[in-house]
Amino acid sequence: MNENKKTKVYIFDTSAFLSGKPINFEKNKMITSNGVKNEISPGGRDYNAFQFLIEKGLVIQNPTKESIEKIKKIIKKTGDEKRLSKTDIEILALSLEINKNERKKAIIITDDYSIQNVANYINITFESINQSGITKRFIWNYRCRGCGRKFKENIKICPICGSDIKTVISSKKMIKK
């Protein structure tokens, strides 16, 4: 094997298993998190795909607390904290850890647009299974439905007028694939 060539590491989100599409990455390293394992329901099509990949070498790995904290800081910047589950954060944190090693390149397999948004923000490659994938990267902010005041933090009620707060796009950027 050429030492200069980067080894591909595929990191699977739950949506990869829920897609129903055949998954075959067995000649590469395959990783997922315990959170994904817990989201897969025994007995279903997704469970069968999951078990098949376990037999082919899928590794269940948990990210470090340090990587999770880094991702939490990043998703506060992008405004995606309300859109991502604990499992989604695990997947992003694992990809961050894998990419620390310059000989490996993490590729997240997901149809989740919020995971794709954050992955693009931190220069992590992603591939979709059923969806076309994102074409723009968003930064989200929050705006009061009543008075229109904007907030960078996710709050439920406007401290000025008492109306509900909604999520809005504060900026968008076309992405290259």
| Interatomic CA distance for residues 99 and 89, integer angstroms | 15
Residue-level pLDDT at 4? 45
Residue 44: its pLDDT value, please? 76
pLDDT in tens, 82-111: 889 999 999 999 999 998 865 678 899 999
Each residue of 153-165: pLDDT tens digit? 778 899 988 999 8
Domains of the chain: 7-127 (3.40.50.1010), 136-174 (2.20.28)
Task: Name, in order, each residue with C-beta under 8 angstroms of 137's C-beta and a sequence gap of 6 or more.
Answer: 117, 120, 121, 172, 173, 175
What's the pTM? 0.81
3-state SS track over 131-176: CCCCCEEEEEEEEECCCCCEECCCCCECCCCCCEEEEEEEEEEECC
pLDDT of residue 6: 59
Tens of pLDDT along 29-62? 899 999 999 999 887 778 888 888 899 889 999 9
